[in-house]
Copies of this chain bind each other. A is one copy, B any other.
Amino acid sequence: MNTLPKSQQKRDALVKATIRLVNNNGFHATPMSKIAKMAEVSPGTIYLYFKNKQDLVNQVYIEVKAAFSEFAFRDYKEDLTVKEGFKNIWKNIAEFKLKEFEEAMFLSQCDNTPIIDEPSRQEGLKHLQPLLDLLERGQKEGIIKPVSPYMLYAFSIYPIAFFMNMQERAIFKLTRENIEEAYEMAWNSIKV
């Protein structure tokens, strides 16, 4: 047997329940009692792992964000070309947002509401750095447009979030083919 310690299992269950309930109801409309019930734990137990409700959502945010960038940069190597590196990262981000749907939707909600406090937000922003570095390298090599990295991000990576939102409402779904199409548009928008 190689299971996690019980306490870790409970914490994980609480994190998972928080993600799911916040996605469905919003943070302030999900009571601690419901989080506890979904995690099959007593309400009091939450306070063994988290200081309070705000601390709970902050911790979940930071952990999901870390999992996201772990996934995004999992196969990143310094010795890849800028083009290869960007393609890997872009595809990873797209895969995460479309497959790890609940986690991605949770991040999107946190990034667009005041439920996360500013320190945790800052913490989350750090994870973008490797991508910004790569883009900068591309600019030095004359491969990437010489504009603000935020501009590059907005036109190449940010659109993926739109697809995620559309997918939730079943309005538009990225298939294998138009993922390729989308990637080409992304690269196109930043390459010189």
A contact set with B: CB distance below 8 Å: 23-29, 108-109, 111-115, 121, 125, 145, 147-148, 150-151, 153-155, 158-163, 165-166, 169, 171-172, 178, 181-182, 185-186, 188-189
Could you tell me the distance between the alpha carbons of A112 and B23 in the complex, rounded to whole angstroms? 10
- CB pair A189–B150 under 8 Å, yes or no, is no
Closest CB-CB distance, A6 to chain B, in whole Å?
32
Give 18 new A-B contacts, CB below 8 A, not counting A121-B169, A155-B185.
A23-B114, A24-B114, A25-B114, A26-B113, A27-B28, A28-B28, A28-B29, A108-B112, A111-B112, A112-B113, A112-B165, A150-B172, A155-B155, A155-B159, A155-B182, A155-B186, A158-B161, A159-B159
Which B-chain residue is minimally distant from A190 (CB atoms)?
B185
Assuming the contacts A26-B27, A29-B28, A159-B158, asked whether A151 and B178 have C-beta atoms less than 8 A apart, the reply is yes
- A186 closest partner in B (C-beta): B155
Closest CB-CB distance, A168 to chain B, in whole Å?
A: 10
| Most B Cβ at <10 Å: residue of A25, A155, A165 | A155
3 shortest interchain CB distances as A-B pairs: A28-B28, A112-B112, A154-B159
Q: How far is the CB of A30 from chain B (nearest CB, A)?
A: 9
Q: How far is the CB of A129 from chain B (nearest CB, A)?
A: 13
Residue in B closest to A185 when the chains form the complex, CB atoms: B155
